[in-house]
Every structure is written in C-alpha cells, then in structure tokens.
Structure 1
Amino acid sequence: MRRLPPLSAVRVFEAAARHENFTAAAAELGMTQAAVSYQVKLLEDRVGTPLFRREKRRVVLTEAGRRAAAPVSRAFDAIDGAFAELRAEDEGMLTISTSQTFANTWLAWKIGGFQMNHPEMAVRLLVSDSLVDFATDEVDVAIRAGRGPWEGLTTDKLLDIDFTPMCSPAFLARHGGALTPADMLRVPMISPQDPWWPWWLREAGIDVPDGRLRPGVRMDSQANEGAAAMAGQGVAMLTPFFWRNDLIEGRLVRLSDRISTRGYAYWLVAPEHRRMAPKIKRFREWLVDEVRRDLAGA
C-alpha cells in the first residue's frame, strides 16, 4: 500500500520548487500565494522536515526539498506523458519550435512533405531563436543549436554546424575575381562581430587580433546573412549545408575549400517522457531521414 502525501500539496510543492517562488507558483496554479504557502506547510508537516527556507522576500529549497524536487517533477512529467498520449486531439497537431536559420533555409522548404505523408495531422511551425520551455510552452519538439545534452530532454543529432566564407558572383567579380583569406580583412564583411570570423581566419593562417574585427551591421540570423551576401553586400560566414542550392544555382560562391567548426550542431529535442508519443516518433524518423539524405547529396 502506498503511503502518499496529499497529491494537491505535492502538486503545489512541485510548482513552487520549479520556480523557487510562491507567487509564481500561485500564478501558474491559479491559487493565492497564501494557499500555496498553506499547502507547502501541510506537506512539510506530513513528511516531518522543512522543504523551503524562508528568507526576507524569497524562498529557497532546503537540501531535503532539493532532493525531493527532481523525482517529484519527473513523476509529474510521467503522469502528463501518460495522459497526453491518450488525448486524441493532441495527436492531431504537431507543434515544432525551430530557429530562423534552420526554418528559413531548410525546414520550411521540406515540412510540407511530412504533412502530405500524414494528412490527418496539422503541423504548426514556431520560428524563434529563443529556447523553448517545454514546461510552459505548448510545443511538442524543438530543433535547437548547441552542444547538448540538455537535462530532461532526449536529443537526436541532425548535423554539425560548420562554416566557410561565401559571397555573390557579382561581388567577387567587383573585387578582382578571387579573394584570399587575407583579402577578406579589407572587403565588406557581413556580421564582422561574429566569432566565426576570427576562428576561420586563424585556422586559415591569418593573424587577427582579439575582439571585433571591424564595425559593421550584425544580422540576427545566418538566414539574413546569406540573403545579404546574395544581394552583393559583402562576404558572409555560412554553413554550406543550408546554401547548397544557392551554390549550385550560382547565387553564391565559396571563397575557400576550408571549412571550420566550433563543435556546435543542430539537434532535435523533446521531453524524455514524450519521446515515444506517436506523432513525435513519426516526425523524428522523417526528419532524421531527410537530413541524412540531403547530407549524402551535399
């Protein structure tokens, strides 16, 4: 027989522990701060030990509270996952969060194929460079750039992020038809503040100082940097995978065979407890296969 404390109090504790703030927990749960405090005190009395330390204007988890918070949160995730897979309406919509670059240069061109293969499912694509919070945002999966792993999330590596300088053919013609790595320091550079620039130049044997190479306009995504390069505005440091069609069709040219990387990659991530949800599983299999096919053809 299980000796469970009141589940209403446990639910309040989980929210309060996640936020380490009674006011934020109350807002999430639709309760008053006093009600949250009462439920936490009820649970502390039941387990016989303080779970929070009350300070002037904040609460902090005690060691006992911290030990309890992680497994309790995972248990609620598991409960949520169990019921989520029973909700038919949930299976009817797949919500994907991804960055501007991944969406604009690749996924937006491909996602229609996935939806056509699964006409019973609607697909919603949320494009933002901010990290999604699976605990609060209504998102099923995300495509995230970084080094991974991320706690509580399953990860499938999609592709390495590498980079090399590119520009438009017209820009190259205006600057003599060829540019060496040293030449790139004297021509217009797109996003010269990007740390990819000194990294690539040093690997190419160019001695560059620490800090910014020069003033210039900083684009908010590689998607915009590539568009600016195609418009002839300068040389951009780009990932060849995303621009292979523009290279093939002559809108961009590579200035070197050298490709650098800083160890970052694109990953498909999802909450651990939702990994095997049917719609997530179908999308993961499709996405990994599409990326692998395009990498093989690059």
Structure 2
Amino acid sequence: MAWQLPPLPAIRVFEAAARWRNFTRAAEELGMTQAAVSYQIKLLEERVGAPLFTRKARQVVLTETGAALAAQATQAFSLLSEAYQSARGGAAGHLSISTMQTFASNWMSERLGLFQQAHPEIIVTLDTSSRLVDFTKEDLDIGIRIGAGEWPGLTSHFLFKGDYTPMLSPRLAESVGGIRQPADLYKVPLLGHTDPWWVNWFKAAGSEFRPDLVRPGPTLGAQFYEAVSAIAGQGAAILTSNLYQSHIADGRLIQPFKTMGTDDHSYWLVYATSRRNMPKIKLFKDWMLEQTKGLRVEG
C-alpha cells in the first residue's frame, strides 16, 4: 500500500504550531527559526490546497481545515511517539499523573500500590501541583480534576461526587458530649470557618449557619491540612466525604451526619483525547473506574 502522506517535516512543524497557536513557540520547541517554520507551513498549505492558519497581528488562528488536520496530526504523532518509546524499551512504562494534593495524599496514596503491583512494568509518578495542566504541551499522561467534566480536547470519566460534610476526631466529639445535631458543632472550633461549604452544609441540614456562634479554628488554606488538624483534635473540618472513608473506618475521624453539602462538582479522570488508545492510559483508566465504582451513585 502506498501511503498518501504530506511532507513529514512540514506536518511536524504544523502540529507544533497548531498546538502552541504561535509560530515563534513552535520554532523554539523544534529548534528552528521562525522563518523556517513559516516556510514549512506555507509548503503544507500548498500541498493541501487551502490555508491552515489565519494570520493576525500577534497570533495565528487555525482555519476550519487547519483545525481538522491538527486534531488528527496530534493524535498521529502521539501514537508514533508511544510506539517509538515502546520500541526503545522502558520509557513507555512511565505513567505520569497530575492530581491535587488532597486526592493524592488520601485516596490515591492508599491505593496506588495496588496498581503498581498489578503492573510492575509501569513506573508511576504523581504531580501534585494545583495548576491547570495542558496535556497537549506537558509530559503528563492522566489527570484527576474537579469540575463538571467538560474540558476541550480531553476525554473525561466520572469517578465520584465531591459532596462534603463535617468530620472531627471521636475524642473531640466525646469531650463536648457528642455531636448529635448541627448546633452541636458550635461547641467545637470550626476549621476554615469562612469556607462557603459551611454555609451550604448547614442549609442542606435544615439549619441556619450562625457565624456569631462559631468558635473559629485555624484556616489552613487546603482541605488536606484541615483534615490533618481535625484528626489531631483541633476542630471540625468540612471534608469531601468520599476521600476520607478509610479515616472513618479506622476511627481517625467520625462523620456525625449523613447530610451532604454539594456544589455539583465531581472528581473526573481525564486525558488528552488524542492519546486515548495508549495501552498504559487504558490500563490505568480501567483500574481507576474499577476502584471507584462503589463511590458512584446511579441516577
């Protein structure tokens, strides 16, 4: 079979320029001059018979033809890269995951070893930065994100809801005679008491949040730190229920109420759609969906 292919140097340059939406950035990535990038793009446009970019003052915008070609080009280069790494051996066995610290330190760290044992040929690393990763430009394979599940260029799989509820140490609860109704929470310090989650949760519980009755606890800036403080008996924290089930099971925390607050945000596993067929991504996706199936509520 004779493949009908474009000039490969030109399509490589086009893919980089489409990804960055910038000829200069593409040139830097490829170690070329901007003039060389422009020449290769022009060459490809002549072969295609249509413009691929609309040139503006300080940016370039993909045309409809360019956008269609760019999506397929990125996928093709992604698959070729994976095949090349596999042929070299070892490199394709690296799986990089971007996730927030709270998820990594609780749910993920307690279970990731199971995946590693099942697939010892894959080396897993975590990036726990809170920044929003661009999977088309960074060397990261999979992400865990909170939101509504819709991100351009990404395939998303629902893991579980991000509903929240107060939790505290059993020792602290006992010290005030127990926490049996929402008003009892005012007997203990509330960690991160200005967090809107507290207001939402009290409303869901059929009670008005009373800031004037609150015993302020520390505001530590992240759910992970407030959970640690709650375990230490420093106050009640409002936490994502699904991330702390093991803490409840082993007695480090108690969840006094079944009532949940919600902001309609959930946890999702995401990856670049262009990389959806990579074996290591499919393996981890299937494993994650199996591990979280008990946390998904149907309907």
Q: Which moved more, 1:194-203 or 1:22-31?
A: 194-203
**For residue 55 of structure 2, what is the amino acid of its counterpart?**
R
Q: Is the 8 A contact 1:192 1:216 kept in 2?
A: yes
Q: What does 1:92-131 correspond to in 2, within 5 Å?
A: 92-131=93-132
* CA distance, structure 2, for counterparts of residue 153 and residue 86 of structure 1: 27
Matched with 2:74 is 73
Q: What SS does the corresponding residue of 2:121 show, helix, strand or coil? A: coil
CA distance 1:194–1:81, change in 2 (3 Å): farther
Match of 2:90, SS state, is: helix
- What is the one-letter code of the residue matched to 1:28? E
Q: Please name the residue that 1:202 is paired with.
A: 203
The aligned counterpart of 1:38 is: 39
Query: Which segment drifts farther, 72-81 or 91-100?
Result: 72-81
1:216-256 CA-partner distances (Å, limit 9, x unpaired): 75444322221111223322111233222322333322232
Using the alignment, how far apart are the partners of 1:140 and 1:154 within structure 2?
Answer: 12
Match of 2:56 in 1: 55
SS in 2 for 1:254: coil
CA 1:254–1:61: 2 relative to 1, 3 Å: same
Query: What's the offset of the Cα at 1:104?
Result: 0.7
Equivalent residue letter for 1:34: A
Pick which of 188-197 and 100-109 moved more. Answer: 188-197
Residues 79-98 of structure 1 aligned to structure 2 (within 5 Å): 79-84=80-85, 86-98=87-99
How far, CA to CA, are the matches of 2:231 and 2:118 in structure 1?
Answer: 33
Q: Which residue number in structure 2 is paired with residue 283 of structure 1?
A: 284
- The 3-state SS of whatever aligns with 1:142 is strand
Measure how far apart 1:89 and its partner are.
1.8
Q: Deviations over 1:91-117 (max 9, x none)?
A: 433323322112111221222232223
Q: What is residue 164 of structure 1 aligned with on the other side?
A: 165
Counting only pairs closer than 5 Å after superposition, residues 161-200 of structure 1 correspond to structure 2 as 161-178=162-179, 180-182=181-183, 184=185, 188-200=189-201
One-letter identity of the residue aligned with 2:206: G
**For the residues of structure 2 that align with 1:58 and 1:132, how far apart are their CA atoms?**
22
- In structure 2, runs of 5+ residues without a counterpart are none
Q: CA RMSD in A?
A: 3.3
Is the Cα contact below 8 Å between 1:193 and 1:214 reproduced in 2? Answer: no
Per the alignment, do residues 35 and 100 of structure 1 end up closer, same or farther by CA in structure 2, a change over 3 Å counting? same
- DSSP 3-state at the match of 1:130: coil
Contact 1:187–1:234 (Cα < 8 Å) also in 2: yes
Which residue type is aligned with residue 193 of structure 2?
A: P
Q: Which residue is 2:272 aligned to?
A: 271
- CA, structure 1 residues 152+66, in 2 after alignment: closer, same or farther (shift >3 Å)? closer
Take 1:272 and 1:55, find their aligned partners in 2: how far apart are those partners? 28
The percentage of aligned residue pairs carrying the same residue is 46
Which range is displaced more, 134-143 or 12-21?
Answer: 134-143
- Name the CA shift for 1:91/1:34 in 2 (closer, same or farther; >3 Å): closer
Give the number of aligned pairs.
293
The Cα of 1:215 is off from its aligned counterpart by 8.5
- Distance of 2:219 and 2:242 partners within structure 1: 22
Partner in structure 2 of residue 12 of structure 1: 13
Which amino acid in structure 2 is aligned with residue 96 of structure 1?
Answer: I
SS of residue in 2 equivalent to 1:135:
coil
2:132 and 2:141 mapped to 1: Cα distance? 13
2:258 is matched by which residue type in structure 1?
D
Unpaired segments of 5 or more residues in structure 1? Answer: none
The secondary structure found in structure 2 opposite 1:159 is strand
TM-score of the superposed pair, with normalisation by structure 2: 0.80
